[in-house]
A and B are shown apart, each in its own frame.
Chain A
């Protein structure tokens, strides 16, 4: 099996570092990564604890397939109680860090307490230590990565770190690994900062063993071939290939969800990234793969050196992470900006300072609406005119938020807290306090149900109703695919593999790889039921934390203001119709609580 059979408990208050055996019973019941970390969180903290307190736990977890020869096996998850929502926070990432953690001999890191002074965790071969981070506290993600490698004379270290945003309490700070990949959502970097933990640096020189090497090689080869036929243009165009689809469909949130189509979409979409301008400049340089990935959807881009964002800043005259769909949405339509270089630069800043681009963009969009309503003025915004479409305002505010300067401190509160502060909570495009991704739920009804019931708040990655939503724009029949795909996505997120394989691989394909990898009989049915168990345990955490049915809702704008254009013109989201059916399918009562029968069936009592 590819489990190392060992976790590391890190008590930052006492400084104790304690290797412990991996609880294999939990690994069997919760698969790994997201699910296993949820179980460890549930057993190791009180869900009522303040997310920013030492009583919160922070878990980095690999899956059983992380670091193996399976395609996309670079995934790891960060799970904690979220400071943006007060709900469970689960954010996963690719890059190389996850596999390195496995190669260092650990399946999971369980971080507790709070260090008196800033530290970073160093795992280098058999040496494990907490090292003073005095010299890198206040440094960016990129500076921290370079400093730690230089300090330890080891360019092979793989580093996950926070930027200043995480240190200073931006509610949606990210953990960035390998410079450009991030556990971006739900403020997992904020929790890391609250613990005075700047970074985790790992060099692992071990490997992984699988249960049946010959069968594993055969099945993973077969799966790679299947994947190669089914990537839907991800390799060539990246996820931003969805921009023009959402534009034509009429589900592209624009100007803080006031519109659903954006006139400038064709200036920032995947084709625009490939277009060579009159100076010979092309935004996209190449694509990039995470560890073990045969898709390579990552984008590497560069910005015109004469663009206003970097013309006097040579430190940015280099290639870096380029636009993906969600970053293009968050710096483009939702704030009305159609300047591809400004959008790309905002993306650089998010990685450099460790900020979730989705939450930043949607929070800025709400601020822009407040500004255009006259609720806030240039007196509030450090003199910046915060109109929709102002590309300069986008990049100035991205930097201010990352560095926590001026109005950036307000933006760092997140949309819900900021809109409440200014007396207009209805402008916050959030669920449970977390900002929406780039899909308008008046056009995508099942997406709306998935947003409303998302355990970490509004999230587009914890269910998959795209096919049914595109084919039918009513709420009819959406509860079942939403529930089923939530369970299935929980299983995929727990495997150590990437959800971008889901178009090619279903439950039998995942089960075949897992069964060749790990002990126990892994079947499609078992995987699916494990996913349902994980979803319900996340729900139990949220209920114990104090969330209720009232939190399973959408902003009034999406429930009452019809889509003004597009193929869903005139529609609102039909949540009232879908939610009772969803609870019933889940085996939850009217309060949204799992019944005893449900908990018993899933082995949760």
Chain B
């Protein structure tokens, strides 16, 4: 399956693609790992506009055509 991907902030240094092929049943964490984004540099992920907390990422299964946004952490300033 294929999902659409956007990243924010400095995460563009890890990921410049806008889509990724994943095996069926892949989770949010699987997708982040495949994209090469360090998990400790992820602030929040949303899937189809809904926030997915850190605790729920590994258990959230993506669907073909989903849109995943991987957001950098906020730092203030």
Does A503 touch B at the CB level, under 8 Å?
A: yes
Q: Which of A237, A439, A460, A467 sits near B9, CB closer than 8 Å?
A: A237
Does A42 touch B at the CB level, under 8 Å?
A: no
Residues of chain B lying within 8 A (CB to CB) of residue A503: 73, 75
Q: Which of B10, B46, B51, B54 sits near A237, CB closer than 8 Å?
A: B10
Is A466's CB under 8 angstroms from B12's CB?
no
Q: Which of B8, B12, B49, B75 has the most CB of A within 10 A?
A: B75
Is B76's CB under 8 angstroms from A232's CB?
no
The bracket for how many chain B residues form the interface is 20 to 34
Take A232-B41, A248-B71 as given contacts and tell me if A567 and B46 are in contact as well, using a CB distance cutoff of 8 Å.
yes
Does A297 touch B at the CB level, under 8 Å?
A: yes
The distance in angstroms between the C-alpha atoms of A233 and B53, with both chains bound, is: 23
Closest to B13 in A: A233
CB distance from B74 to the nearest CB of A (A): 4
CB distance from A429 to the nearest CB of B (A): 18
Within 8 A of A (CB), among B46-75: 46, 49-51, 53-55, 69, 71-75
Does B24 touch A at the CB level, under 8 Å?
A: no
Residues of chain A lying within 8 A (CB to CB) of residue B43: 245, 466-467, 470
CB distance from A498 to the nearest CB of B (A): 10
The distance in angstroms between the C-alpha atoms of A270 and B73, with both chains bound, is: 15
Is A244's CB under 8 angstroms from B9's CB?
yes
Is B49's CB under 8 angstroms from A567's CB?
yes
The distance in angstroms between the C-alpha atoms of A234 and B76, with both chains bound, is: 11
Residues of chain B lying within 8 A (CB to CB) of residue A538: none
Does B4 touch A at the CB level, under 8 Å?
A: no
Per-position binary interface string of chain B over residues 3-27, scored 1 when its CB falls under 8 Å from any chain A CB and 0 otherwise: 0001011101100000000000000
Is B9's CB under 8 angstroms from A324's CB?
no
Does B35 touch A at the CB level, under 8 Å?
A: no
Closest to A498 in B: B77
Residues of chain B lying within 8 A (CB to CB) of residue A270: 9
Residues of chain B lying within 8 A (CB to CB) of residue A574: none
Is B77's CB under 8 angstroms from A232's CB?
no
Residues of chain B lying within 8 A (CB to CB) of residue A306: none
Is A245's CB under 8 angstroms from B77's CB?
no
Closest to A241 in B: B9
Is B50's CB under 8 angstroms from A499's CB?
no
Does A326 touch B at the CB level, under 8 Å?
A: yes
The distance in angstroms between the C-alpha atoms of A325 and B75, with both chains bound, is: 10
The distance in angstroms between the C-alpha atoms of A39 and B74, with both chains bound, is: 32
Take A237-B10, A242-B9, A567-B46 as given contacts and tell me if A248 and B73 are in contact as well, using a CB distance cutoff of 8 Å.
no
Take A242-B9, A245-B8 as given contacts and tell me if A232 and B69 are in contact as well, using a CB distance cutoff of 8 Å.
no
Residues of chain B lying within 8 A (CB to CB) of residue A473: 51
Chain B contact residues: over half helix, strand or loop, or mixed? mixed
Does B44 touch A at the CB level, under 8 Å?
A: yes
Is A242's CB under 8 angstroms from B69's CB?
no
CB distance from A598 to the nearest CB of B (A): 27
The bracket for how many chain A residues form the interface is 35 or more
The distance in angstroms between the C-alpha atoms of A245 and B75, with both chains bound, is: 11
Chain A contact residues: over half helix, strand or loop, or mixed? helix
The distance in angstroms between the C-alpha atoms of A236 and B12, with both chains bound, is: 11
The distance in angstroms between the C-alpha atoms of A499 and B8, with both chains bound, is: 22
Is B77's CB under 8 angstroms from A271's CB?
no
Within 8 A of B (CB), among A439-480: 439, 460-461, 464, 466-467, 469-473
The distance in angstroms between the C-alpha atoms of A472 and B72, with both chains bound, is: 15
Is A466's CB under 8 angstroms from B76's CB?
yes
Q: Which of B10, B49, B50 sits near A232, CB closer than 8 Å?
A: B10
Is B76's CB under 8 angstroms from A245's CB?
no
Residues of chain A lying within 8 A (CB to CB) of residue B75: 232, 234, 239, 242, 466, 500, 503
Closest to B55 in A: A471
Residues of chain B lying within 8 A (CB to CB) of residue A248: 6, 8, 46, 69, 71
Is B10's CB under 8 angstroms from A236's CB?
yes
Closest to B49 in A: A567
Is B77's CB under 8 angstroms from A471's CB?
no
The distance in angstroms between the C-alpha atoms of A274 and B36, with both chains bound, is: 23
Is B9's CB under 8 angstroms from A233's CB?
yes
Does A249 touch B at the CB level, under 8 Å?
A: yes
CB distance from A143 to the nearest CB of B (A): 29
Closest to B56 in A: A471
Q: Which of B44, B55, B76 sits near A567, CB closer than 8 Å?
A: B44
The distance in angstroms between the C-alpha atoms of A567 and B70, with both chains bound, is: 13
Q: Which of B6, B46, B73 sits near A467, CB closer than 8 Å?
A: B73
CB distance from A491 to the nearest CB of B (A): 16
A contact residues vs B (CB 8 Å cutoff): 232-234, 236-237, 239, 241-242, 244-249, 270-271, 297, 324-326, 439, 460-461, 464, 466-467, 469-473, 499-500, 503, 567-569
Pairs across A and B, CB under 8 Å, 26 listed? A232-B41, A232-B75, A233-B10, A239-B75, A244-B9, A245-B43, A245-B71, A246-B74, A248-B69, A248-B71, A249-B44, A326-B77, A461-B76, A466-B74, A467-B73, A467-B74, A469-B74, A470-B71, A471-B44, A471-B53, A500-B75, A500-B77, A567-B44, A567-B46, A567-B50, A568-B51
B contact residues vs A (CB 8 Å cutoff): 6, 8-10, 12-13, 41, 43-44, 46, 49-51, 53-55, 69, 71-77
Other A-B pairs beyond A241-B8, A464-B76, 13, CB < 8 Å: A232-B9, A232-B72, A233-B10, A233-B72, A245-B43, A248-B8, A249-B44, A324-B77, A470-B44, A470-B73, A499-B76, A567-B44, A567-B49
8 A-B pairs with least C-beta separation: A233-B10, A239-B77, A466-B74, A567-B51, A241-B9, A470-B44, A245-B8, A244-B8
